[in-house]
Chain A
Amino acid sequence: MSVLLHLEGLVAGWQQPATRPVELSLAAGEIVGLTGPNGVGKSTVLAAIAGRARVFSGRLTRPAGLRLALQTQDVPPVVGVPLSGRELLALTGASPIGLPPWLADRLDQRLDRLSGGQRHYLALWAVLDTPADLVLLDEPTNNLDRAGVAHLARHLRDLAAGGRGILVVSHDAGFVAAACDRVVTLEPCDVE
């Protein structure tokens, strides 16, 4: 399997370093969990990989032309915007095939008229199913009930089987255990 991402002693942050050196490697078809206590810099590492946060030291290597998809904890601002779920998926090039029935039936409703969990999962699905080689997920189980978490774990497995690499930041130990092939745990650092 080809390596999609390699972090070597990576220290990331915003205005100043916010993580300990991180060692991580991720291959195509693999799901890696990134865990650790609150404030340890999990989301910051993800942001650095996506080019949002600063890399202070260490190396971040990924193949040229790698297509990234990123799900952040920010909810897409859809309140007051007449956008249906079907239109959202079409925008990112995601397919509705495979959506759970409780969402597939509501694709033609406005996103701001769905429940928080339904909206979150649809916005997540639009990222997951967009054409990409490496998918970065930041707390994807937020707002999801047990059925949603179970469906997500199964779908991540399907995507990985199709050759995608997936890096998941999550504090949900049960989900990480069910969905991930490996887990990298970040330790608190003194610089925060």
Chain B
Amino acid sequence: MWNELFLLPFLTGLALAIVLPLLGAYLRLRDEWLAALSYAHIAAAGALLALVSSLPPAAGGIGTALAAGAGKRFFAARLSGGASYALLLLGSWSVAVLLAANHPLAERLGHALFDGQLYFADGATLALVAIGGAISLLALRALSRSLLLAHLYPDFFRIRGLRAWPIQLGFDVLAALCLALATMSLGVMGAFALVFIPPWLAFRRAASWRGGLWRALVIGLAAYLGAFGVALWLDQPFGPILALLLVGIGLIIA
């Protein structure tokens, strides 16, 4: 397991298992957990679009998700209540399925993206995830207080003469980047499971915000380590095993 063949995928997934539950806590705080599923689908569709256009799929996935994260705010007034995420999710799912149905190469990559083939992660993927993950953790730390204040006291920024939109835009872009990186390795549903379930469980039991973040992190890491071993042992795709394990943990703890 610890030879290079499995070490690179293991470290790639480990980095994501640290970042995604923490990101999920802030998405849950903002009642935007659907965004995770939406960005994951957008990244998948973008990667397939890039592939059929003879461009690098990873660049396509990340670029499309970033564009959706940054562009979302322009439609926020007309698409409130999470409608923007639902529309983006449905649109990108449709594009991805149609591309996979009409292009043999896209079909293969589409399967990998939706199944979550972490074991295909190579050195370049690990480097991308490690750098993106480190930037995301630093950015989350910097944005944390502002995100909490914006949720609790929506007028806080206006009455202080401060602009709230850079924080919102920064978080949207950060979420899109993380989900795009995660989708390329863990798959659409594996990434969504790590964003959604650990914070959901942590929020129910934790006594404080800091405690909630720690709980989400521990649950996410435990599920990841378990899923990595089980998927390897049973020779199964990683994404569904991770999602099943998290669902199981969720049902037991909840």
Contacts and interface: CB of A to CB of B under 8 A. Distances in A.
A108 interface: yes
A70 B151 contact: no
Contacts of A77: 151-152
Contacts of A143: none
Given A50-B158, A50-B159, A67-B160, A76 B152 contact: yes
Interface in B71-128: none
B155 A52 contact: yes
A86 B159 CA distance: 23
A83 B209 contact: yes
A171 interface: no
Nearest to A50: B159
Interface string B49-65: 00000000000000000
A116 interface: no
Interface stretch (B36-44, B199-207, B224-232, B245-253): B199-207
B159 A51 contact: yes
Interface in A107-129: 108-110, 123, 127
A70 B206 CA distance: 29
Interface in A50-91: 50-52, 67-70, 72, 76-78, 80-84, 86-88, 91
B29 A76 contact: no
A52 B157 CA distance: 11
Interface size class of B (residues with CB under 8 A): 20 to 34
A86 B203 CA distance: 17
A189 to B, nearest CB: 25
Contact of B212 (A72, A82, A86, A88): A82
B233 interface: no
Contacts of B210: 87
Nearest to B158: A51
Interface in B136-187: 145, 148-149, 151-153, 155-156, 158-160
Contact of B208 (A80, A110, A127): A110
Contact of B160 (A68, A81, A87): A68
Nearest to A80: B203
Contacts of B145: 91
Contacts of B207: 82, 84, 108-110
Given A68-B160, A82-B211, A91 B206 contact: no
B220 to A, nearest CB: 16
A92 interface: yes
Of B148, B152, B156, B210, most A-chain CB atoms within 10 Å:
B152
Contacts of B156: 92
Nearest to B200: A80
A50 B155 contact: yes
23 contacts: A50-B159, A52-B158, A67-B160, A68-B159, A68-B160, A76-B152, A77-B151, A82-B205, A82-B211, A83-B148, A83-B208, A83-B209, A84-B207, A86-B208, A88-B152, A91-B145, A91-B148, A91-B149, A92-B149, A108-B208, A109-B207, A123-B152, A127-B153
Interface of A: 50-52, 67-70, 72, 76-78, 80-84, 86-88, 91-92, 108-110, 123, 127
Given A52-B155, A83-B152, A83-B209, 9 more contacts: A50-B155, A51-B158, A52-B158, A70-B159, A84-B209, A88-B152, A91-B149, A92-B149, A92-B156
Top 7 A-B pairs, shortest CB-CB distance: A82-B206, A82-B212, A76-B152, A84-B208, A68-B159, A83-B209, A50-B159
